[in-house]
Amino acid sequence: MDVQPSLAPPPPPPPPLGGHGLHRFANPGRFLRLSGAVLPWLAGAGILLTALGLGWGLFGVPADYQQGDAVRILYVHVPAAQMALGGYLVLAFVSLASIIWRHPLADLAAAEIGPVGAAFTALCLGTGSIWGKPMWGTWWIWDARLTSVLILFFLYLGHVVLVRAFDDPTRGQRAGAILALIGVVNLPVIKFSVDWWNTLHQPAAITLSGAPAMHLSMLWPLLTASAGYACLFGAIVVARTRAAVLERRLQGLLLVRTEAAR
């Protein structure tokens, strides 16, 4: 029972301690230290800004001239849609890092982004549906925007399943990264579907060119909620990745212990 090796380091794939560029974060210890310092701030900002933006949008903003109070769903729906797309972009970047640089942390992060992105996409689809029934007159319509976002949702789900589908985790991670990169094709389709085709879904009110087609009293709470969602998304993903790193470390320790006990 006198097992001491719990103090022994886990058997990691030897990461270079120095490294350059992103590979500095390949050192799990460094990642845990850094993310541990950032996480409370990110989570705090996320909760605070989301609460502020949603509270402001749900209770403070004047009703819309034609939608009435139904306009308030916007404050839940639009930031969720932004994070559905933004989250996928991060997933694609992380997958690229995994495929080209074989970054060990990227594989762990990719597996953790999937479920979070899927949840935000589901929120976007659900709130959109609730808004669509009274406003458009239908829960769902197969127009280019709604269909492409549904495909995004399935891409997320496919990634979640694929990454965990193999006995050898590396094979799952590789397959998941390839799926994530192929799915990037869908992002510009979602973004520009409302401009390229006749859709029932309205085009973006906030564009890089031109004034926002939204009164400023309605715009500020939306931007606040967007920032809050982004911080929240980041905080959840960082927390999940930390948990994954720790879990791996624990598995390593347990392995050492059983080996030693033998």
Partner 1 sequence: MTGKRRRIYLVLACAIGLGSASALTLMALSDNLVFFLSPSQLAEKAPQGGRAFRLGGLVESGSLYKQTIDGHPQAKFRVSDGAASIEVEYDGILPDLFREGQGAVALGSLRPDGKFRASEVLAKHDESYMPREVADALKKSGHWNPSAGPPPPAATWNTLPTKPGG
- Contact positions toward partner 1, by CB under 8 A? 61-68, 70-71, 74, 96, 99-101, 134-138, 141, 143-144, 181-182, 185, 189, 196-200, 202-205, 210-219
Task: Give 211 or 261: the residue with its C-beta nearer to partner 1.
Answer: 211
- If DSSP codes are grouped into helix, strand and coil, which group holds residue 209? coil
Task: Give 162 or 237: the residue with its C-beta nearer to partner 1.
Answer: 162
CA pair distance 35, 234, nearest whole angstrom:
11
Task: Give 106 or 237: the residue with its C-beta nearer to partner 1.
Answer: 106
* Cβ proximity of 156 and 117 under 8 Å: yes
Nearest 5°: phi and psi at 173? -65, -40
Q: Shortest Cβ distance from residue 178 to partner 1 (Å)? A: 9
Q: Shortest Cβ distance from residue 253 to partner 1 (Å)? A: 31
Query: Buried (b) or exposed (e) across 148-186, using 16+ Cβ within 10 A?
Result: bbeebbebbbbbbebbeeeeeeeebbbebbebbbebbeb
Q: Shortest Cβ distance from residue 140 to partner 1 (Å)? A: 11
CA pair distance 101, 97, nearest whole angstrom:
5
Task: Give 91 or 144: the residue with its C-beta nearer to partner 1.
Answer: 144
Q: Shortest Cβ distance from residue 13 to partner 1 (Å)? A: 16
